[in-house]
Every structure is written in C-alpha cells, then in structure tokens.
Amino acid sequence: MAYKKTDKRKEHAYKKFEQDIKGNSLKNILLFYGKENYLIDWAIGSVIDKYVEPACKDFDLTKFNGTAASFEDISNSCETLPMFSTKKIVVTDKLKCLETETEDEQKWLGYFESIPETCILILTAEKPDTRRKIFKTLSAAGGVYQFDELDDQFLRKFIEKRMKSAGKTIKPAVAGELIAQSGYFDRNTEYTLYNLENDLKKVIAHASGEEICREDVVKSISGNIDRNVFFMLDALGQGKKASAFRMLSNLALYSENEYRILSLICNQYEAVMLVKEMREDGRNLPEIAQALGMHEYRARLMMGLSEKYSIQQLKSILLRAYQVDRNIKSGLLDKSLALEMFIASI
C-alpha cells in the first residue's frame, strides 16, 4: 500500500461509518465494499443492532443473494413496513449490476432515490466498477463506504482493544512485532482482519501472564514466506547465522520451493539496496515508501536492515545470490545445499 506524501490522510471508511451511525445520519441505501470483509460484516451488524428489534428479526430483516435475487424480490421487500423495529433492513450481498451490466440495471437507477424512509437497503459488492453510471448514481443518492485495510494507527487500536477485552496488555514495541509477524501490510497479501483476529486468539491463549511478550507473538503466529524470508535476512544482518539456518530449515519443512525462497531472497536484498541508495540520496521514510509502493512500516524494516550493510556489500550479496540461482538451474549444485552455502557466505 503506497504511503501518501501528506500527513493529512484520508479518513478511513470505518471511522466515517461510526460517526454517521452515531449521528443518525445514515442514508436509506448503503454500499459496503473493499478488502476487509471483517469491517463490512461489522458495519452490517451495527445497522441491524441499531434499527431492528431482536424479537422481530424474522420480519424486519431480510437477506438476499445479489447474484440470484431479482430487482422485484429486493424492491418488494424494501416496500414492506417494519413490524415493531425502527427500520426494515434489507441486505443484498454481491449485487451483480454493480460489477457488470445486467437487465435490472435501469430499474435500479430509477429506484435509488425512491427507497422508502422506513427501510435501509444495504448492498455489498466485491469489486464494484466505480466508473459506471450505476455506481455514481448510488454514490449521489446513498452512502458508500470502502472498507480497505486499516492503517498502522487504527490497526494498533484494533489489537489493543482485543487484548483489553481478553484482560491482557501489550506494549507498543510488541504490538509492532505482532504486526510485522502477521504480514498484514505485505504487498499483495491475502491476510485480513479475520486472519489477525484468529492469530490474536492464538497469542492470547499462549500468554501465561497478563502482559503479552514477544515470545507469545513469535510462537503463535505462523505468518507467510515473504515475511519469514525477511526475518531470516534480518537475522543474518545481525550476525545470527544459527537463527537464520533454523528459519531456512523451517521454510523447507513447510515444503516451500527452493526457487521461490531464492527469488524472494533476491527481491528482498534488491529492495534493501534501493532503500539504502534512496536514504543516501537524502530521501526520508515517507518518500522511500511511496517510491517503492510499500507501506511505511515495511519500508522502516527495510531501512533498518539496510543500515547493516554498505551498498557495495549489498551488491556483492546480490551477485552471489544470482550465481547460486545459476548453479541450481544448471544442476551444478543441489538446491538445498546451494541455499545453505549462500546463507553461510553472508
């Protein structure tokens, strides 16, 4: 995720939604979309809790599969008055016409401004086409909330809140380690808040005391190969070869392909060298993160590793890595042995 140059960052959708629902300013048609299904489910649940009487859910809450339900099915439900609840809530998941053209599209365009005040229609979509007329019309008539990944500040608050509810505490440095171990900010990661929620449960279950320590984090979160390769290289940068060899063994234990491991090693060192060069050119952390298209937290980790080497040393390491790749592909060396020899040479 690229870092914005300005410090005035765009307000996250979950914060705006929280303000809107507390201020009773929600529109009668809502669109929730984005990567974080956890936040989408939370927002839907919040609307239901606020407007539907628990005893009347069978009457005043209706859910549709948007890939199968017709416009008439959904609109007729919206026109039904609530029994004893404040509002009738109609939830339609993955409405097709928000992503591709359908026969019902013109009907929806005319209905967006006609939804009764007694109803709130909630629509969700995986990847709505924001360029199309239907999206723009819905945006003008209703409330649109894009629930993408949290930034570092709100992610830490999420972690602290979960810890507090479990009767635990966590120091900022350990929370930072947890975020790094989780890989939440890794580029192209599929790791979401649902994954983090599960990992937090593991960390809490592992902790014997009230305070979460680094060991609880390291032993509870399995993580992904990209992040694990980075920590292996970080161990090498600190002169901890025994730890690096253990990490390499763990990667092999989980049947990771040696070619992939080597490719990631090259990618990581290439990124570290770019960070080193940019840093020596006088660029600051936000500028480096933006230039490399990575989250600032990840760029900070790269910067820390870059301080362990000179540019010349990094170039030398990369040349050795490229040679190892050639030796493996030519059959000159066994894949596992070649990787071990490379780690030993750093």
Architecture of the domain spanning 152-219 = Orthogonal Bundle (1.10)
- The whole-model pTM stands at 0.70
> With 0-12 CB in 10 A as exposed, 13-18 as middle and 19+ as buried, what is 327?
middle
CATH class of residue range 225-345: mainly alpha
pLDDT by residue (tens digit) across 151-168?
Answer: 889 999 999 999 999 999
Contacts of 323 (CB under 8 A, 6+ apart): none
Domain ranges of the chain: 13-146, 152-219, 225-345
**Low-confidence winner among 82-96, 172-186, 212-226, 283-297 (lowest mean pLDDT):** 212-226
Per-residue confidence (pLDDT) for residue 224, from 0 to 100: 61
Whether 346 and 232 have beta carbons less than 8 Å apart is answered as no
pLDDT by residue (tens digit) across 284-313?
Answer: 998 998 888 777 777 888 899 999 999 999
Element (H, E) at 184: none
- Cα–Cα distance list, 60 to 26, 67, 79, 81, 136 (Å): 18, 22, 11, 8, 29
Bridge partner residues of 212 (DSSP): 170
Element (H, E) at 44: helix 37-51
For residue 335, pLDDT over 90 is answered with no
Q: What is the CATH number of domain 13-146?
A: 3.40.50.300
Nearest to 229 by CA among 321, 296, 155, 295: 321
Gap between the Cα atoms of 90 and 69, Å rounded? 12
